[in-house]
């Protein structure tokens, strides 16, 4: 490990900030679109802003080790607040801004937050709602003053006013602030992030300066990131990836972090910035591809033919050109022409004109989607990571990119596969501990520093690339003893644009069954083109034609699953289309949109029963939570269909 | 709270309301032989949210048109900022600091949201046609300044994502919001809202109510509104004028109006036995 890592570079995020202000003082550090214009702050200005906020915190009496909760969308001032908190010796804790008040209460209580920095009135209201249970909260700060005038300001202030107060009193606070900043070491806590947790309560992952800086340094060198790069910060601030990209790597390399105007303008802002380094979960790439395809369906005949023709060429030679493999001169010329006519304008529309390095992770990405972007010449790669690893465990080097692997171990990371098939890693980014949870820390990280990922996988022979099959605890056996890997099948289903989400059941059962969630955008558009009228999601989901379409998808997946002798038992015998979208507000997905299998199995137990007892339809009532926290019920009668399966010949022969 | 105090009063939620901004004295408005408004007097205080309610055909919209100067009453006087107001052209009214929204949305469908809101600032632009066409010097500076004001309103009403969208493509609730934005762009002293919630669903009504309160709170704009939704009116407004058949039958705080027998009769009907 890197105990002997050199000490010739700054040992904390505030120290990096001071270095950047000196080295790249005039270069842009943060941008935010506001009032229709990109506002920009240089590294020198950023350092001044952060110092002002830190002085403000000092004026409020912040202590070493205090926790400062940060809640809001990606905004420069919130990133600065995190760094300012560390300067004061406190620990920043970013929270998911779309969490409901109850979820926030748990985290605020668990970390014992003394200060809360909120983006706007909405977040302040949520904190106030649960504040009577959280006597530890000393002061609330907010960025956006709108609607806040009538609030009781005895323990609340605008962040701008707090920094102004700090600046006014800088003679009183400066000495103590400088002392605290100077005593920060590589082993001080840099940030604490709560894992969304597919099971149980969220856990607070403590990451030190060493974790963040070493990981940022290694990963930045891996992709040769530098201070001229641009990223778009639009993913939740509470997610470890955003902290690594928008703070860790940004402070290490000095590149520019661009914050969108708001969530709804993200696509426009992406196009305007044209980031050179970009991360997005697969669903973003899927969504964009679906949009492109829908718009091409409506395009004129000439445009459509040109698009189809050149996309076919791109699919053939694009990835090879990107990987630097030999391609004939004629194809190169045609690809160049295609770039002028189709790929270039398309990339510009998507905001990907300048991308040098793009990553996706979190879920499996469909091979067609992955190849589509790569064939356009976008260097999209995959990585595999975790909060506990400060993101990076494995990633794909340039030129060795495939959709079905997650790459080779990142620099400085050791990976091993246990007997059970579970993946373990050890790295300088390995988390310090789970906050106030020694038991979980011990069960996750052993004495030698190896961490269990909870995922089952294997190294591919020949290439040395890691392949992930499924969550280790989800991989099970069916009643007849054959292997059951639900995620493997679900991913195959989700590769169809019409299927948004799928949940496969079958552990200890005689056969596999599935819940399907349709994608309203894709299926809605299909319905429009085929003159199918519908009034609601529920009605569209239950339409016989939709059922037919989904059935054909399921049967295609069955054929593909049957081709793999080890997993042929996972073919789907029966399925139904759910009457509601699985939603994090109802607890069915995590905030990062991962399926919570147990909760779904519990909540829809009646539907699962119906799948296995052989009913053709089932009446059900489901409780739903609306965005404002109110609850309601939806009722539906769902149809259940049988899907054709391929006879498991190989297995019969083997027995 | 003494709402009759000429110096102003303080609302239950702690806002300070000033003196009289606009006063209607004995207004009578006739269309031919029909009396649309008969001898009505009331005032609007500085910083207040003032509602005008009443059943269909009570003369509410006529009243709003008198306030805006579109109709000139046959009898009575309109006083604004301490001066008696004569007949005026619409642009003169706008320059006085009065802006309005319409019951049936009156926006330019083919123009973008941004351009629509910019039209709200037309009365404040001084450069001529030639200067605008060449877009040089003063004209350029002027447009930049006005754009900045408009962008603040876009930010305030949270419509950044539709800035460049043609208004014709927007759903109804958003069009209403754009109309409010255009009215605000004129930086009015007095904002007239003609049924701002008509045809909206509950969520849109909540949003609109929040924006109306925020406008009043943030910019100190005095607001006079006509609305059918009684719940909304009673929650939003500081004082309410109730009209029926062109006559004023009630005037006071929402609670006073709610307990006024004439108002109850007008809304629920009277039995004739």
- Sorted by where each begins, the domain ranges of chain A are 13-272, 282-470, 476-654
Q: What are the respective helix, strand and coil percentages of chain B, to the nearest 5?
A: 40, 25, 35
- Rounded distance between C-alpha atoms, residue A247 and residue A391, angstroms: 13
Q: What is the pLDDT of residue B265?
A: 83
CB of B210 within 8 Å of a chain A CB? The answer is yes
A595-612 pLDDT, tens digit per residue, is: 888 889 888 999 999 999
pLDDT band, very low/low/confident/very high, at A325 (cuts 50, 70, 90): confident
A35-94 pLDDT, tens digit per residue, is: 989 999 999 999 999 999 999 999 999 999 999 999 999 999 999 999 999 999 999 999
Q: Which CATH architecture has domain A476-654?
A: 2-Layer Sandwich (3.30)
Q: Which residues of B touch A158 (CB under 8 A)?
A: none
Length of chain A (residues): 655
pLDDT band, very low/low/confident/very high, at A6 (cuts 50, 70, 90): low
A10-27 pLDDT, tens digit per residue, is: 999 999 999 999 999 999
pLDDT band, very low/low/confident/very high, at A197 (cuts 50, 70, 90): low
Nearest to A387 by CA among A593, A533, A191: A191
Q: Is the pLDDT of residue A124 over 60?
A: yes
Which residues make Cβ contacts (< 8 Å) with residue A261, sequence separation at least 6? A32, A33, A34, A36, A269, B160, B161
CATH class as words, domain B106-187:
alpha beta
**Regions of chain B with pLDDT less than 50:** none
Domains A13-272 and A476-654 share a fold: no
Domains B1-97+188-267 and B106-187 share a fold: yes
SS (H, E, C) A394-422: EECCCCCCCCCCCCEECCCCEEEECCCCE
CATH 3.30.70.920 fits B1-97+188-267, yes or no: no
The answer for B 147-166 residues in CB contact with A (under 8 A) is: 147-148, 151-152, 154-156, 158, 160-161, 163
Residues of A near B (Cβ–Cβ under 8 Å) read 34-37, 146-147, 149-150, 261-262, 264-265, 268
Q: Which of B148, B156, B163 sits opposite A146 (nearest CB)?
A: B156
Is there a contact between B117 and B150 (Cβ–Cβ < 8 Å)? yes
Q: Is the pLDDT of residue A462 over 90?
A: no
Q: What is the pLDDT of residue A7?
A: 59
**Chain A interface, best mutation among B151, B155, B214, by max A CB count within 10 A:** B155
Q: Is the pLDDT of residue A582 over 60?
A: yes
CB of B214 within 8 Å of a chain A CB? The answer is yes
Query: Which residue of chain B comes nearest to A149, CA vs CA?
Result: B217
Q: Which of A34, A147, A149 sits opposite B155 (nearest CB)?
A: A34
Q: What are the respective helix, strand and coil percentages of chain A, to the nearest 5?
A: 45, 20, 35
Q: Which of B148, B161, B214 sits opposite A264 (nearest CB)?
A: B161
Mean pLDDT throughout A428-436? 93
| Buried/exposed code over A514-553 (b: 16+ C-beta within 10 A; e: otherwise) | bbbbbbeebbbbbbeeeebebeebbebbbbeebbebbbeb
B53-93 pLDDT, tens digit per residue, is: 988 888 898 999 999 888 999 999 999 988 888 888 888 88
- Sorted by where each begins, the domain ranges of chain B are 1-97+188-267, 106-187
Q: Which residues of A touch B160 (CB under 8 A)?
A: 36, 261-262, 264-265
Q: Is the pLDDT of residue A648 over 70?
A: no
Q: Is the pLDDT of residue A396 over 60?
A: yes
Which residues make Cβ contacts (< 8 Å) with residue A74, sequence separation at least 6? A233, A234, A235, A237, A242, A246, A259, A260
When comparing pLDDT for A245 and B140, which is higher? A245
**A122: closest CA of chain B, how far (Å):** 12
pLDDT band, very low/low/confident/very high, at A2 (cuts 50, 70, 90): very low
Q: Is the pLDDT of residue A100 over 50?
A: yes
Q: Which CATH architecture has domain A282-470?
A: 3-Layer(aba) Sandwich (3.40)
ipTM over 0.85: no
Q: Is the pLDDT of residue A653 over 50?
A: no
CB of B13 within 8 Å of a chain A CB? The answer is yes
Q: Which residues of A touch B152 (CB under 8 A)?
A: 35
Mean pLDDT throughout A424-431? 94
Would you give the DSSP letter of residue A489? Answer: H
Question: Which ranges of A223-328 would DSSP assign to H, the alpha helix?
Answer: 240-243, 250-253, 266-273, 282-297, 301-322
Percent residues over pLDDT 90 in chain A:
60
As a whole number, the mean pLDDT across chain A is 89
The answer for B 52-71 residues in CB contact with A (under 8 A) is: none
**A535: closest CA of chain B, how far (Å):** 17
| Buried/exposed code over B237-252 (b: 16+ C-beta within 10 A; e: otherwise) | bbbbbbbbebbbbbbb
Q: Is the pLDDT of residue A652 over 80?
A: no
CATH 3.20.20.80 fits A13-272, yes or no: no
**A36: closest CA of chain B, how far (Å):** 6
pTM given for the model: 0.81
Q: What is the pLDDT of residue A651?
A: 45
């Amino acid at each position: 490990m890197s105990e002997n890592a050199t000490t010739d570079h700054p040992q904390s995020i505030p120290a990096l900030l001071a270095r950047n202000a000196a080295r790249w003082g005039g270069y842009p550090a943060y941008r935010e679109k506001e009032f229709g214009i990109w506002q920009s702050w240089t590294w020198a200005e950023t350092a001044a802003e952060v110092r002002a906020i830190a002085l403000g915190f000092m004026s409020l009496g912040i202590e070493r080790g205090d926790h400062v909760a940060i809640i809001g969308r990606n905004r420069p001032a919130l990133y600065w607040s995190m760094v300012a908190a560390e300067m004061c010796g406190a620990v920043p804790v970013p929270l998911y801004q779309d969490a409901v008040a109850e979820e926030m209460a748990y985290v605020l209580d668990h970390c014992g937050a003394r200060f809360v920095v909120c983006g706007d009135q909405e977040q302040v209201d949520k904190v106030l709602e649960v504040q009577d249970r959280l006597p530890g909260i000393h002061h609330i700060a907010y960025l956006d003053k709108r609607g806040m005038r009538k609030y009781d300001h005895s323990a609340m202030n605008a962040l701008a006013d707090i920094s102004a107060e700090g600046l006014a009193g800088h003679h009183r606070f400066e000495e103590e602030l400088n002392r605290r900043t100077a005593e920060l070491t590589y082993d001080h806590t840099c940030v604490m992030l709560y894992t969304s947790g597919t099971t149980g309560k969220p856990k607070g992952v403590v990451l030190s300066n060493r974790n963040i800086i070493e990981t940022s340094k290694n990963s930045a060198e891996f992709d040769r990131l530098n201070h001229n790069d641009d990223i778009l910060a639009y993913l939740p601030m509470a997610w470890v990836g955003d902290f690594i990209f928008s703070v860790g790597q940004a402070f290490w390399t000095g590149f520019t972090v661009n914050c969108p105007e708001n969530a709804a303008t993200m696509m426009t802002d992406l196009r305007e910035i044209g980031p050179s380094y970009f991360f997005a979960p697969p669903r973003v790439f899927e969504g964009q591809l679906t949009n492109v395809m829908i718009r091409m369906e409506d395009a004129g005949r000439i445009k459509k033919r040109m698009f189809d023709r050149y996309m076919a060429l791109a699919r053939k030679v694009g990835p090879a050109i990107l990987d630097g493999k030999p391609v004939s001169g004629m194809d190169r010329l045609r690809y160049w022409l295609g770039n002028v006519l189709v790929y270039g304008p398309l990339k510009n529309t998507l905001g990907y004109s300048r991308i040098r390095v793009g990553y996706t992770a979190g879920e499996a990405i469909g091979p067609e989607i992955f190849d589509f972007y790569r064939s356009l010449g976008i260097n999209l790669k995959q990585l595999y990571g975790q909060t506990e690893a400060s993101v990076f465990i494995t990633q794909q080097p340039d030129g060795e990119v495939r959709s079905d692997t997650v790459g080779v171990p990142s620099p400085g990371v050791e990976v091993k596969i246990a007997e059970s098939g579970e993946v373990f890693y050890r790295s300088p980014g390995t988390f310090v501990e789970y906050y106030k949870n020694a038991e979980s820390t011990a069960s996750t990280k052993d004495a030698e520093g190896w961490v269990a990922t909870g995922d089952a996988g294997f190294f591919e022979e020949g290439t040395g690339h890691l392949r992930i099959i499924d969550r280790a605890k989800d991989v099970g056996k069916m009643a007849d003893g054959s292997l059951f890997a639900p995620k493997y099948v679900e991913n195959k289903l989700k590769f169809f644009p019409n299927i948004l989400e799928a949940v496969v059941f079958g552990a200890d059962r005689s056969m596999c069954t599935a819940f399907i969630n349709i994608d309203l955008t894709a299926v809605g558009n299909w319905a429009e083109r085929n003159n199918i009228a519908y009034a609601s999601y529920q009605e569209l989901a239950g339409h016989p034609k939709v059922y037919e379409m989904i059935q054909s998808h399921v049967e295609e997946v069955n054929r593909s699953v049957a081709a793999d002798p080890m997993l042929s038992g996972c073919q789907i015998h029966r399925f139904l289309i759910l009457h509601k979208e699985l939603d994090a507000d109802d607890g069915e997905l995590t905030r990062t949109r991962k399926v919570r299998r147990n909760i779904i199995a519990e909540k829809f137990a009646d539907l699962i029963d119906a799948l296995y007892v052989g009913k053709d339809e089932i009446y059900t009532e489901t409780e739903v939570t609306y965005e404002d926290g109110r609850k309601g019920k939806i009722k539906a009668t769902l149809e259940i269909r049988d899907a054709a399966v391929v006879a498991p010949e190989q297995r019969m022969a083997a027995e | 709270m003494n709402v009759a105090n000429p110096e102003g009063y303080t609302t239950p939620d702690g806002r300070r309301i000033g003196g009289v901004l606009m006063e209607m004295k004995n207004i009578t408005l006739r269309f031919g032989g029909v009396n649309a408004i008969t001898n009505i007097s009331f005032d609007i205080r500085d910083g207040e949210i003032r509602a005008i309610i009443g059943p269909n055909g009570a003369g509410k919209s006529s009243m709003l048109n008198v306030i805006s100067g579109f109709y000139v009453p046959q009898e009575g006087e309109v006083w604004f900022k301490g001066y008696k107001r004569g007949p005026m052209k619409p642009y003169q009214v706008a320059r006085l600091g009065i802006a309005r929204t319409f019951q049936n949305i009156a926006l330019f469908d083919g123009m973008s949201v941004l351009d629509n809101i910019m039209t709200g600032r037309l009365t404040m632009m001084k450069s001529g046609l030639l200067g605008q066409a060449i877009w040089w010097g003063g004209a350029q500076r002027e447009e930049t300044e006005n754009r900045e004001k408009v962008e603040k309103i876009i930010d305030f009403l949270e419509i950044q994502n539709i800035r460049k969208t043609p208004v014709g493509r927007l759903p109804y609730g958003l069009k209403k919001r754009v109309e409010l934005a255009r009215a605000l762009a004129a930086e009015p002293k007095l904002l007239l809202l003609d049924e701002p919630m008509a045809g909206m669903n509950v969520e849109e009504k909540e949003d609109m109510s929040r924006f109306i309160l925020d406008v009043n709170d943030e910019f100190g704009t005095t607001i006079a509104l006509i609305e059918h939704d009684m719940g909304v009116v009673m929650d939003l407004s500081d004082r309410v004028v109730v009209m029926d058949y062109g006559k004023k039958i009630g005037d006071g705080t929402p609670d006073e109006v709610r307990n006024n027998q004439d108002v109850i009769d007008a809304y629920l009907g009277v039995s004739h036995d």
